[in-house]
């Protein structure tokens, strides 16, 4: 390369010297010196062009080499990456195998436990084994197996019930006479028994075991419409209690729509209320009793703690809100309550509901009025004015006044649809609820279901009015929403009530499930 540059340089220099040495006065091209200079510079130019090509080739070669290097490096990198990935996957699968082995070792004894709990059901065992081998968490395995087992049990139970129903139908067909289903008993103290083994208790024990709870049934209390089972429970994880409840519902065959009341009964003790079959329930006739004039007692019925009585004169229970679907025993309660208050000398005005329900009252009690739903606003107005009037009385004057009680059954139907009338109705009724308590003026409002006042339901119950009705009674409701709206605690329990007078009363500290007295003919 150096030789080429030297050749170009020498030819160039000689060409320049020859050009400079020419005589400016005699400028002729075709003299030997000029021709030589031109030839030399042409030669230098050709050589320069060659060199340029040479360098361009060199550059191209270098670029190609660099590109080749890059490609190779990329391929190498890819190879190395995939090798590393393969290694990682192998390591992970090794770890997974190791984990599975460890899990199997750890769960083998527990799987035995699952087998012991789930019994000899091949399908359930296979499911549990499959889940354990797939690395499913033990808690999930236990829950899934328990659910599967419960479903099997439930199916068996339903088959038994079906069988029994068929037997009963056959027996019934053989009988000519109509059999009265309701058993009416005289009030008695509820029975507490030592726990014996029953299918219910067995089911609950199994449910507790499945969710990993240590329990023991301490006592069974027999209430008129349900059995209350008291369990000792030792757990530090309170999340297991809802699981225990869900598993127990499955074990007892209680549907999703119905509640199974579970609540804390004492430290480390829970109570479960299991409904009795209709034929095992106890019903009570309304008792004959001595009444004191001037008192304002409503005798409700029997509970596990004895007779339940509401005193309208008490701070906690001056105004009542009652809810219950058809057949729950709400009308029976209204009749019984009217009777109690009339026997103590009160004035009772019945609005809404079935006026014919009180036909037998008219002859016996002069202080009762039975009114069409449409007249309710007039009575509300009259009660409101009476509140205004009694408000200015002295204590001594007030003591002389007769208690007034306004019954509004089927409240929704009594609310005016016209905006102005409804406003006045709401305001006055709310005031009667609020001020009446100290003035011997009371309201008892009945609803089929708890419906909140809103744009879409202008006849629903306004919150202000509800707040002024502090004593709540719930009979059976089909949806838990009604219960939550009416009761102050455990509202969903309304779906566990069995109808025909099975109710819950709440107010202040009072919270009792009771069986209402059956009120047929006036005693
Ligand atoms: N405390 C009770 N003890 C026994 N049976 C009862 C009791 N209360 C109600 N029943 C029975 O339950 C049925 C329904 O009662 P009731 O008419 O009071 O219910 P309701 O909720 O008002 O229903 P409806 O709105 O259809 O009148 C009746 O056959 C009644 O005899």
pTM listed for this prediction: 0.66
Mutating to test ligand 1, I would choose from 332, 357, 473, 514 the residue with most ligand atoms within 8 A of its C-beta, which is: 332
Q: What distance in Å separates the CA atoms of residue 297 and residue 310, rounded to the nearest whole number?
A: 6
Query: Contacts from 52-58 at CB under 8 Å and sequence distance 24+?
Result: 54/1
Q: What distance in Å separates the CA atoms of residue 73 and residue 77, rounded to the nearest whole number?
A: 6
Q: Which two tokens stand for residue 421?
A: 């009338």
Query: Contacts from 256-259 at CB under 8 Å and sequence distance 24+?
Result: 257/478, 257/495, 258/495, 258/496, 259/480, 259/492, 259/493, 259/494, 259/495, 259/496
**DSSP conformation letters of 84-110:** HHHHHHHHHHHHHHHHHHHHHHHHHHH
Q: What distance in Å separates the CA atoms of residue 390 and residue 156, rounded to the nearest whole number?
A: 65
pLDDT in tens, 258-303: 999 998 888 888 999 999 999 999 999 999 999 999 999 999 999 9
Handedness of CA 113, 115, 118, 120 (dihedral sign): negative
**Which residues are part of a known binding site?**
324-331
* CB 466, CB 295: distance < 8 Å: no
Classified as helix, coil or strand, 192 is: strand
**Which residues are part of a known binding site for ATP?**
324-331
Q: Which residues of 23-46 are buried (b: 16+ CB within 10 A; e: fewer)?
A: eeeeeeeeeeebeebeebbebbee
Q: What distance in Å separates the CA atoms of residue 199 and residue 208, rounded to the nearest whole number?
A: 14
- Residue 485's Cβ-side half-sphere holds a number of Cα atoms within 13 Å equal to 23
pLDDT in tens, 38-74: 888 888 888 889 889 988 988 988 888 888 888 788 8
User: Can you give the pLDDT at residue 135?
Assistant: 65
Of the candidates 287, 320, 319, the residue with the CA atom closest to the CA atom of residue 306:
287
User: Can you give the pLDDT at residue 105?
Assistant: 67
User: Can you give the pLDDT at residue 174?
Assistant: 42
Q: Which residue minimizes the CA distance to atom 11 of ligand 1?
A: 500
In angstroms, the Cα distances linking 20 to 10, 13, 25, 42, 499 are 15, 11, 13, 17, 132
Q: Is the CB of 328 under 6 A from ligand 1?
A: yes
In angstroms, the Cα distances linking 145 to 34, 129, 140, 150, 208 are 112, 10, 8, 8, 13
Across 214-258, the runs of DSSP E, i.e. the strands, are: 214-222, 226-234
Of the candidates 324, 229, 350, the residue with the CA atom closest to the CA atom of residue 516:
324
Radius of gyration over alpha carbons of the chain, in Å?
Answer: 47
Residue 521 makes CB contacts below 8 A (sequence gap 6+) with 360
User: Can you give the pLDDT at residue 167?
Assistant: 61
Q: Is the CB of 302 under 6 A from ligand 1?
A: no
Q: What distance in Å separates the CA atoms of residue 292 and residue 312, rounded to the nearest whole number?
A: 14
Distance 327 CA to ligand 1 centre (A): 5
User: Can you give the pLDDT at residue 146?
Assistant: 67
Q: Is the CB of 327 under 6 A from ligand 1?
A: yes
Residue ranges, the chain, pLDDT below 70: 26-29, 97, 100-101, 103-126, 132-139, 142, 146-147, 149-196
Q: What distance in Å separates the CA atoms of residue 312 and residue 298, rounded to the nearest whole number?
A: 8
What single-letter DSSP state applies at residue 41?
Answer: H
């Amino acid at each position: 390369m150096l030789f080429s540059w030297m050749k170009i340089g020498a030819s160039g220099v000689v060409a320049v010297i020859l050009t400079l040495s020419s005589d400016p006065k005699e400028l002729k091209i075709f003299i030997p010196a000029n021709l030589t200079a031109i030839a030399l510079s042409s030669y230098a130019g050709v050589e320069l062009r060659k060199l340029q090509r040479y360098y361009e080739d060199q550059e191209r070669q270098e670029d190609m080499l660099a590109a080749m290097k890059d490609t190779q490096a990329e391929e190498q990198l890819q190879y190395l990456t995939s090798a590393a990935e393969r290694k990682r996957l192998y390591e992970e699968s090794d770890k997974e195998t190791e984990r599975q082995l460890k899990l199997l070792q750890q769960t083998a004894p527990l799987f035995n436990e699952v087998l012991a709990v789930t019994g000899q059901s091949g399908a359930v065992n296979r499911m549990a084994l499959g889940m354990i081998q797939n690395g499913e968490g033990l808690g999930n395995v236990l829950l899934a197996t328990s659910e599967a087992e419960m479903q099997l049990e439930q199916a068996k139970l339903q088959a038994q019930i079906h069988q029994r129903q068929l037997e009963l139908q056959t027996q019934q067909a053989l009988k000519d006479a109509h059999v009265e289903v309701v058993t009416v008993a005289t009030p008695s103290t509820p029975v507490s028994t030592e726990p014996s083994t029953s299918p219910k208790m067995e089911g609950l024990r199994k449910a507790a075991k499945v969710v990993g709870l240590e329990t023991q049934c301490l006592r069974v209390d027999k209430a008129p419409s349900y059995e209350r089972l008291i369990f000792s429970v030792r757990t530090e994880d309170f999340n297991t209690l809802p699981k225990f409840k869900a598993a127990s519902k499955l074990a007892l065959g209680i549907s999703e729509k119905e509640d199974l009341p579970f609540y804390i009964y004492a430290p480390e003790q829970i109570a479960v209320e299991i409904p009795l079959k209709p034929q095992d329930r106890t019903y009570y006739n309304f008792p004959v009793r001595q009444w004191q004039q001037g008192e304002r007692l409503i005798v409700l019925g029997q509970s596990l703690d004895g007779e339940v009585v509401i005193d309208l004169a008490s701070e906690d229970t001056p105004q009542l809100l009652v809810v219950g679907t058809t057949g729950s025993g709400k009308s029976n309660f209204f009749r019984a309550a009217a009777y109690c208050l009339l026997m103590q000398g009160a004035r009772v005005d019945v609005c809404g509901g079935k006026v014919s329900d009180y036909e037998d009252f008219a002859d016996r009690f002069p202080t009762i009025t039975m009114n069409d739903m449409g007249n309710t606003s007039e009575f509300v107005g009259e009660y409101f004015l009476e509140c205004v009037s009694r408000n200015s009385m002295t204590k001594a004057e007030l003591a002389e006044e007769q208690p007034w009680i306004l019954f509004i059954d089927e409240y929704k139907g009594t609310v005016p649809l016209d905006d102005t009338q409804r406003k006045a109705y709401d305001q006055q009724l709310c005031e009667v609820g609020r001020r009446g308590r100290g003035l011997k003026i009371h309201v008892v409002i009945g609803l089929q279901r708890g419906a909140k006042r809103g744009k879409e339901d202008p006849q629903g119950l306004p919150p202000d009015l509800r707040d002024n009705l502090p004593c709540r009674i719930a009979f059976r409701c089909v949806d838990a929403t009604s219960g939550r709206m009416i009761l102050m605690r455990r509202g969903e329990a309304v779906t566990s009530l069995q109808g025909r007078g099975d109710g819950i009363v709440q107010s202040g500290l009072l919270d009792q499930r009771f069986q209402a007295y059956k009120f047929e003919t006036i005693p």
